[in-house]
């Protein structure tokens, strides 16, 4: 089972992807996480990737496709949850070609929907644990210590692109690119829309229903 999650920034995409991974034993392929790791390695590529992410822009398609290709050919799992890829129509077409080569396909596309104002609040309040990766919101979550993770007590950090200015750029880029992407998958009849306004368990229950319907 291969699933694509399409969603605006700060809509809970990463959280739902992790829940799906645990429930269905899938490989969680987050291109945002992959790129953030590359950006930390100090290489020339890492420095370039970091500046693009920090500006709230998209990495170019060729590089993105290369990175994903290398990953999906090496993954041995029940299936993959694609979190943050594809983000453009070109990436979606190339992903289908790559999967076809290994006799696989995308079975389900989940589109999370959220209002821009609410996503903005989620973005500027978002912090993640530097150790276990748990994600919190300083406005909505009950943190025992505002700077420490409730789960493992390690430092909570904020993403450089979680500012109002960068959020606006990322949201607008999402609106521009996702339309054609969703239309592409709608022609294949594999798209389902889920409201991301509810709490994460309710959103997840809806996603599970969609997946179990097959």
Q: Report the sign of the C-alpha dihedral through residues 190, 169, 19, 40, in that order.
A: positive
Let me know: does 83 contact 31? Beta carbons within 8 Å. yes
User: How many chain residues touch ligand AMP (CB under 6 A)?
Assistant: 17
Tell me how far CA of residue 151 lies from CA of 50, 122, 129, 137, 174, in angstroms. Answer: 28, 20, 9, 14, 32
Query: Among all residues, whose Cβ is closest to ligand AMP?
Result: 32
Length of the chain: 214
| Given the residues 71, 121, 159, 200, the one annotated as active site | 159
Let me know: does 163 contact 124? Beta carbons within 8 Å. yes
Quick one: 57 or 71, whose CB is closer to ligand AMP? 57
Is 13 tagged catalytic?
Answer: yes
User: Is 197 a residue that touches ligand AMP (CB under 6 A)?
Assistant: no
Is 36 tagged catalytic?
Answer: no
Quick one: 21 or 170, whose CB is closer to ligand AMP? 170
| Given the residues 18, 122, 166, 170, the one annotated as active site | 170
Closest of 199, 194, 196 to residue 3, by C-alpha: 194
Shortest reach from residue 61's CB to ligand AMP, in Å: 7
Residues 63-102 that bind ligand AMP (CB under 6 A): 64, 84-85, 87, 91
Closest of 82, 48, 32, 115 to residue 190, by C-alpha: 82
Residues 9-68 that bind ligand AMP (CB under 6 A): 9, 31-32, 35, 52-53, 56-59, 64
Quick one: 16 or 145, whose CB is closer to ligand AMP? 16
For 197, phi and psi rounded to 5 degrees? -80, -25
Is 170 tagged catalytic?
Answer: yes
Tell me how far CA of residue 22 lies from CA of 17, 28, 42, 137, 208, in angstroms. Answer: 9, 9, 32, 22, 12
Question: Active-site residues: which are they?
Answer: 13, 87, 126, 159, 170
Residues that bind ligand AMP (CB under 6 A): 9, 31-32, 35, 52-53, 56-59, 64, 84-85, 87, 91, 161, 170
């Amino acid at each position: 089972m291969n699933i694509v999650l399409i969603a605006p920034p700060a809509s809970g995409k990463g959280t739902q992807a992790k829940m799906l991974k645990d429930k269905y034993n899938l490989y969680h392929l987050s291109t945002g996480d992959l790129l953030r790791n590359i950006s930390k390695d100090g290489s020339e590529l890492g420095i370039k990737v970091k500046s693009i992410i920090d500006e709230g822009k998209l990495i170019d398609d060729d590089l993105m496709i290369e990175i994903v290709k290398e990953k999906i050919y090496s993954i041995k799992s029940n299936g993959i949850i694609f979190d943050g890829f594809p983000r453009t129509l070109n990436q979606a077409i190339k992903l289908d070609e790559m999967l076809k080569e290994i006799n696989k396909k995308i079975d389900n596309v989940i589109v999370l929907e959220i209002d821009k104002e609410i996503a903005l609040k989620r973005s500027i309040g978002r912090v993640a644990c530097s150790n276990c990766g748990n994600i919190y919101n300083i406005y909505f979550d009950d943190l025992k210590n505002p700077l420490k993770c409730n789960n493992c007590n390690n430092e909570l950090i904020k993403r450089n692109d979680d500012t109002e200015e960068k959020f606006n750029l990322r949201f607008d880029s999402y609106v521009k690119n996702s339309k054609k992407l969703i239309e592409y998958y709608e022609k294949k009849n594999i798209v389902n829309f889920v409201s991301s306004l509810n709490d994460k368990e309710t959103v997840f229950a809806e996603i599970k229903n969609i997946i179990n319907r097959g």
